[in-house]
Every structure is written in structure tokens, then in C-alpha cells.
Amino acid sequence: MKSISELINNEEPGWKLVSERINDATNKIEILPKNKKQADSALYHTQVTTRSPMGGIIYETGGILVDNGWLRILGSGNNKLDRTLPNWNKGKTFKEYGEQPSIFLIADDVVGGFFGINGGALGDDLGNVYYFAPDSLEWKPMDIGYSDFIWWAFSGDLSEFYKNVRWTNWEKEVTEINGSQVYSFYPFLWTKHENINDLSRKAVPISEIWELHQKFAEQLIKPAYNKV
């Protein structure tokens, strides 16, 4: 594995490009402050350079919250988003740091949806981002890579993307939970219902929803990748 000094690129930092996109963003963006020690550790365990947007986000932020915290882009961890990009993946998409996962989780949302980079488990489009939809329990291709996914999160039409899973007054509620929680719905989102407002919901740890959704996906549909 490369050392921290080998991963840091001060000549062509990816964060510069990310910052420019943040300035042009049409969605509400909150940059979470980083902890230097955690940033070093997260960058090292992810093994990407800061020349890339992913490396820039890991090394310069504790993560990024979009649209009042509806969407969370993982970085090096913060009190409001107490998960780093590599440690969130460890035990889910790979066993030990340095391994190449067949799916790499990069972001998630408050309704239990997960964004991941295809490392081979989801098809031939390696490097492209997929969305694990909580209302279908399937990985859906977004036909974009990581950089374009970040631009989409900053300026894409999230209202359209999430039109079926946003309830009345969601803006206030999502600010009341932290980045390690999501809303669990009952009946489940993948069951038949007419309106999201008819379902009951409560905040639960995101790790519980990940495990639950993967379990149901395996039972009801088909596992997208081999278990870790």
C-alpha cells in the first residue's frame, strides 16, 4: 500500500475542482470539517490520491451533506457523519484494507438508498456508479462515474430522483437525525403503497438498514455480489 506522502498531490489537487463545483452548486451543500488524523488514516486506507475528486473529498472534508442532509457523501468522518469512506466499506464490501471490492460504497441517503462504484459485481461498466434503491431492492445503473456523480449530487434534480420517497415536511425531519441514521418505513418501501405519507417511519442506525436491505434483496431478488 502507498504511503500518505505518495497519495498527496499538491500540484494538481482534486479538491480544487470539487470546490469549483461547490461554488456552482444549485443544491444546498454543507462541507463537514475534517480531523487531520482521521483524514490521513482514511486516505491511506482508501489508497486513492488527492489528485482525484474522491481523494480530495476524503482528505479535505469530514464528508459532504447535500439537500439539508438528505444525501451524504462519505469523506474522512465528522460528528455529524460519523463514518469514514473506508471504514464504512470494511466488513461490507471487503474484509481487509487494500483489497479491491466488487462494489465500493461512496454515499447514501436518509431513506436507506446506497450509492456504490461497480468493481465488477454489477456488470462490465467498471467504475460506474449504481444506486441501490430501497423501493426495489435492486442496484440501478446511473451511467456515470464518481466525478460526474459528485456533480450530479451538487446540481442534479434530486426532487425528481426522489419524488416517490419524499414526504410532507421532510426538510425539517432530515435535519433532526445524524449521518449515521436513516428512516425506516413500515410497511417497507418495496411493498405496495399509494403514498409515502401513509407509511410510518422512525430513525434507526444506517448499519441496520444496510443489513436488512441486503438480507431481503438476497431472499426476494438476488444477491448483487458475493458476501464478504
Domain ranges, ordered by start, for the chain: 4-220
Q: What band does 224 get if pLDDT is binned at 50, 70 and 90?
A: low
* Helix%, strand%, coil% for the chain, nearest 5: 35, 20, 45
**Contact between 139 and 131 (Cβ < 8 Å):** yes
The predicted model scores a pTM of 0.95
Write out pLDDT tens, residues 137-166.
999 999 999 999 999 999 999 999 999 999
Mean pLDDT for 37-62 is: 98
Is 172 exposed, middle or buried (CB count within 10 Å of its CB: 0-12, 13-18, 19+)? exposed
Q: What band does 94 get if pLDDT is binned at 50, 70 and 90?
A: very high
Mean pLDDT for 80-95 is: 97
pLDDT reported for residue 105: 98
**Contact between 55 and 49 (Cβ < 8 Å):** yes
Q: What band does 220 get if pLDDT is binned at 50, 70 and 90?
A: confident
